[in-house]
A = this chain, B = another copy of it.
């Protein structure tokens, strides 16, 4: 069996460990051979690939990024399924393992169902917003980096008696904000799922200040304050209602300063959160997901993906991961609020 492997969408710490897990398991247990496809669907559509051996994946478990490269090319662009079949046939590729997020898994699922292509998946989202999987790799690394950054910012905030507003990733969900905020002892955590008013934010900030703390506000990039739209007609929001200009933190900090009178500063962590060596947790999860994906391909479970449930790696429908966004549930929001102010 000859299997093509591709990584698609935004990069994520652990991708290389997934690739290594796939290749080692496939070669050692199933006698499979592998082709590394460059830059996601682009490499498949443009026939840009290479034979991938044990040597290519050695020493990869702790390395950030993806040796395969990635892109946001859509599988139905540039010839789409037709072209894929051609390229796969030309190389004798029987099946694909697609490592990607919502778009990739939805596309792959459709390619299996409508075109009969042989594809299994590994879910990838640093935001942890895919359904039917407990956590996804990369999320632990992102929450760790964000936590360490907030720890650092707290000391400078305290020295200057300032409020710090730290923007973390999370376009549609607040998982990174929730976890990093809880881990680092934030006085307010703002998430897309739970809009709150400026007055509420100001109350939390003032309460922390009154107890002698330098207020720490952690905000997910996709958060939109309650009653926001009307106020910033002149600032612009994007099609999903998200603040565009320079990040929500840059918008919130001066607002907080104005309402509370407390000097406030913004920091946007941005790409830092997806770079560098994955945590031990993510390396183990990634390796196990990769090995499970090799098994799925070996057993012809097309349309399935490897998924974490409790302490086990199980197999679920790719389509089930994308049907609904995994939001932060209400009870986690209530739990977190006990720590606010």
Contact = CB atoms under 8 A, between A and B. Distances in A.
A11 B159 contact: yes
A23 to B, nearest CB: 11
A179 B283 CA distance: 9
A161 interface: yes
Q: Determine how many copies of this chain the complex contains.
A: 4
Interface in A45-83: 54, 58-66, 69-71
A291 interface: yes
A56 to B, nearest CB: 13
Contacts of A62: 147, 151, 183-185
B280 A153 contact: no
Contact of A29 (B161, B213, B270, B338): B338
Given A62-B185, A182-B61, A311-B135, A153 B284 contact: no
A154 B280 contact: no
Interface string A242-283: 000010001000000000000001011011101111011101
Contacts of A274: 156
Contacts of A272: 149, 152-153, 267
A293 interface: no
A15 interface: yes
A310 B274 CA distance: 24
A272 B145 CA distance: 12
A24 B208 CA distance: 14
Contacts of A280: 140, 143-144, 146-148, 179-180, 183-184
Contacts of A152: 64, 145, 272, 275-276
Of A39, A59, A62, A66, most buried by chain B (CB within 10 Å of CB) is A62
B153 A271 contact: yes
Contacts of A267: 270-272
Given A144-B279, A275-B152, A275-B153, A66 B159 contact: yes
A271 B182 CA distance: 21
A21 to B, nearest CB: 8
A215 to B, nearest CB: 13
A28 interface: yes
A263 B277 CA distance: 23
Interface string A291-310: 10000000000000000011
A27 to B, nearest CB: 9
A37 to B, nearest CB: 14
A335 interface: yes
Given A64-B152, A183-B283, A291-B338, 6 more contacts: A66-B159, A69-B160, A70-B159, A140-B281, A149-B272, A291-B335
12 contacts: A25-B338, A58-B213, A62-B151, A65-B158, A69-B159, A134-B310, A140-B281, A151-B276, A152-B275, A183-B287, A287-B339, A288-B335
Which 4 pairs across A and B sit closest by C-beta, in order of nearness?
A152-B275, A64-B155, A152-B276, A65-B155
